[in-house]
């Protein structure tokens, strides 16, 4: 039982035999391959060392930065996948960003759909975090494994990495959210006595904490906190993020998908070629990645084209609000 924030049960009794078998298999397979997968992608420590200083925007491959307003324009269905190289507009001041609707938009749009059970959780997380419920739904929809009819699968596990649950959080990212003050997960971890005096996850409680990724509410609340932090950090880096729900959703998703360091570099057009190659390999496989790179002329351009296309097709808050 979790004290503090209420959480839906994730006990084994709530799983079917098939769900138990699938979860155990994917957990074991993911643990065995996790180290090799992380080595292929690069470590979180490398990401931290390579992050620009606050307020700095890395120059793009053509020597000019890419503004988020132009990035989002590229995500429109009729727009090209690769940016032009004209300079972006001056970043919008934080205090001039329009307020976002965070009310019952998800409830209204999802009440008759396959994921209606999650509508209340999305709205509660939206009210707490300030990220619109439809934006949160779009992020989950792009990340979660799906069953028949598009039903989100809370017990999903990526066998090639440690990503799990509706938000597909890596183990390290989930622990980071538990240790970051002010998050729903941090409050839950404190209430359960899972953190030591330094605010770090105790080794003996790590498994219990990571199991919460399979709790739908915990996962949705963590998506909301992570999205809020990433959008704020991207704005603080000088990147323009307007007040439209679609802009917030897509910016938050890039932070969720890439991690903050790579999201900053991607939006500024400054991913290193080898990093872009690794990320593309991880998503589409080595052979397909090499074909895309050869066609595009560079790993950076190929990865950018793939990711912009993916975001444009899959991160669609208009479906939920």
Which three-class secondary structure state does DSSP give residue 164? strand
d(CA 140, CA 158): 15
Residue-wise pLDDT for 165-178, tens only, equals 999 999 999 999 99
- pTM greater than the 0.75 cutoff: no
10 Å CB burial of residue 204 (0-12, 13-18, 19+) is: exposed
Contacts of 3 (CB under 8 A, 6+ apart): 191, 192
For the chain, the C-alpha Rg in angstroms (whole number) is: 19
Q: Which of 314, 292, 279 shows the shortest CA–CA distance to 75?
A: 314
The pLDDT of residue 78 is: 33
Residue-wise pLDDT for 71-122, tens only, equals 444 343 333 233 222 222 322 333 333 344 444 455 566 777 899 999 999 9
Return the structure tokens found at 271.
């991913």
Judge whether 151 and 115 are in contact, CB under 8 Å.
yes
| pLDDT exceeds cutoff 80 at 304 | yes
Give percent helix, percent strand, percent coil of the chain, each to the nearest 5: 60, 0, 40
More confident residue, 5 or 256: 256
Contacts of 146 (CB under 8 A, 6+ apart): 152, 153
| pLDDT exceeds cutoff 70 at 293 | yes
Domains of the chain: 13-319 (1.10.530.10)
């Amino acid at each position: 039982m979790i004290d503090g924030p209420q959480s839906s049960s994730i006990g084994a009794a709530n799983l079917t035999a098939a769900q138990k078998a699938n979860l155990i298999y994917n957990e074991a397979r993911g643990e065995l391959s996790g180290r090799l997968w992380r080595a292929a992608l690069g470590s979180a420590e490398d990401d931290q060392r390579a992050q620009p200083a606050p307020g700095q925007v890395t120059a793009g491959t053509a020597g000019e930065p890419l503004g988020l307003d132009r990035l989002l324009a590229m995500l429109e269905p009729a727009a090209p996948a690769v940016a032009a190289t004209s300079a972006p507009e001056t970043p919008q001041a934080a205090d001039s960003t329009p307020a976002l609707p965070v009310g019952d938009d998800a409830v209204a749009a999802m009440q008759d759909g396959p994921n209606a059970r999650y509508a209340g959780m999305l709205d509660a997380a939206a009210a707490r975090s300030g990220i619109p419920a439809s934006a949160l739904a779009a992020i989950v929809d792009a990340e979660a494994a799906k069953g028949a009819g598009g039903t989100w699968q809370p017990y999903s596990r990526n066998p090639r990495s440690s990503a799990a649950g509706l938000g597909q959080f890596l183990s390290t990212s989930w622990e980071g959210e538990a240790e970051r003050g002010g998050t729903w997960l941090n409050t839950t971890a404190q209430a359960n006595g899972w953190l030591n005096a330094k605010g770090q996850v105790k080794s003996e409680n790590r498994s219990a904490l990571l199991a919460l990724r399979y709790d739908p509410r915990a996962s949705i609340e963590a998506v909301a906190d992570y999205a809020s932090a990433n959008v704020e950090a991207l704005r603080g880096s000088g990147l323009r993020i307007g007040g439209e729900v679609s802009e917030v959703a897509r910016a938050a998703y890039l932070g969720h998908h890439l991690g903050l360091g790579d999201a900053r570099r991607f939006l500024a057009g400054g991913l290193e070629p080898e990093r872009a190659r690794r990320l593309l390999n991880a998503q589409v496989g080595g052979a397909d990645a090499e074909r895309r790179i050869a066609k595009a002329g560079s790993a950076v351009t190929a990865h950018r084209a793939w990711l912009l296309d993916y975001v444009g097709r899959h991160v669609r808050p208009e479906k939920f609000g």
